[in-house]
Amino acid sequence: MSQTELIPTRFRDGALRMAAALRGLDHVLVSGHVNPDGDAVGSLAAAGHILRALGKEFILYSSTGLPQYLQFFPLPGTVHTSLEHLPFTPRCALLLDCGEPQRLGGELAARLPDFTSLNIDHHLGEEGMGSLDNWVVPEAAATAQLMAYVALAAGLPLQGELARAVALGIITDTGGFCHGNTSAAVFALCAHLVEGGCDLTGLRERLENAWSLGRMHLWGRLMERVRLERDGEVAFCTVSLEDLRHCRALKEDLEGLVDQLRRLGGVRVAALLREDTPGMCRFSLRSYGHTDVRATAASLGGGGHLNAAGGALNMPPEQAAPVLLAAINAQLDTESASAAAAR
């Protein structure tokens, strides 16, 4: 079987198109969204390995750097946090795991018109921001999954650090293969990675065995604060900057907490509202099944996926909480009315 034949049919044309586009680029700036998660970091790493194998010069960029819990992960180059004093002047950009310029950070968003760009993403509701081409596939579980198909389309084996980068993105964006986006295609790809020698178990252990004491204390503090709304259909928790200071924790230590809130019996939507800076909050939403938290996030200017979404509210927590709850309730009311009409 050829490398291309390993790509599911519905992804094949896009992967071949992206591989061909990458062959035509050089001196590439590779970036994902700010405050990168495992999928953004895995996609960034995978892109670097692909570009290196194609003989291209590239720079990895993230204005906010990498989160502490992913510092262990090897990357194919230094991650630059500024566009000043780069080792060379980029001619083009490969933009990963986001479809809106503002999610790249202010510095790169302002410079984006200077670059020819490709955009590869898997978020619902985005058309892409690439000036040369876009490949946005919401049915993909992770952008790293798409990068795996680009590698195969370029004739590259999914082995070694490239395979590990793909695995990082898939493990994190499927919640360790627990989320509803864990499709047959995901399992087939992971089977191929394991057959090629990728240690998925070891990687997941590194991800799970990396907590700080501050994170443990923070989660304990917040678990006591969780409240149920809407007769138990909504689990809600608010996090202040003081909570982080008190526990000597970082913002990134909240990664995964909202998924735990979704474990409460009867909960349809889990919501975490975090004070990001004085006067500004970020929110994360999770759901099961057909409950659409992306629609809720979009109503507030955010975005994401059907069962995992988020956004920002330019107001302090005491004002943001009722606004977020009202948006959640409005979406659940709409879905309940639609279900009743369909019966």
Residue range of the domain that includes 42? 4-208
Tens digits of pLDDT across the chain (343 residues): 678 889 999 999 999 999 999 999 999 999 999 999 999 999 999 999 999 999 999 999 999 999 989 999 999 999 999 999 999 999 999 999 998 898 899 999 999 999 999 999 998 776 889 999 999 999 999 999 999 999 999 999 999 999 999 999 999 999 888 888 899 999 999 999 999 999 999 999 999 888 999 999 999 999 999 999 999 999 999 999 999 999 999 999 999 999 999 999 999 999 999 999 999 999 999 998 899 999 999 999 998 888 999 999 999 999 999 999 999 999 999 999 888 888 7
Last residue of a domain, one of 208, 243, 271: 208
On whether both 292 and 242 belong to a single domain, the answer is yes
Last residue of a domain, one of 186, 208, 230: 208
Last residue of a domain, one of 208, 229, 247: 208
Total Cβ atoms within 10 A of residue 35 = 19
Angle at 176 between CA 164 and CA 212, to 5 degrees: 85
pLDDT digits 0-9 by tens, 69-93: 999 999 999 999 999 999 999 999 9
Length in residues, the chain: 343
On whether both 199 and 224 belong to a single domain, the answer is no
Name the E strands within 105-212. 116-121, 133-136
Q: C-alpha 186: how far from its chain's center?
A: 16
pTM listed for this prediction: 0.88
- Name 245's Cβ contacts closer than 8 Å, sequence gap at least 6: none
On whether both 261 and 229 belong to a single domain, the answer is yes
Counted domains in the chain = 2
Cβ 17 vs Cβ 83: under 8 Å: no
Name the E strands within 242-315. 269-277, 280-287, 303-304, 308-313
CATH number of 336's domain: 3.10.310.30
On whether both 241 and 324 belong to a single domain, the answer is yes
Closest CA to 19 of 120, 140, 128: 120
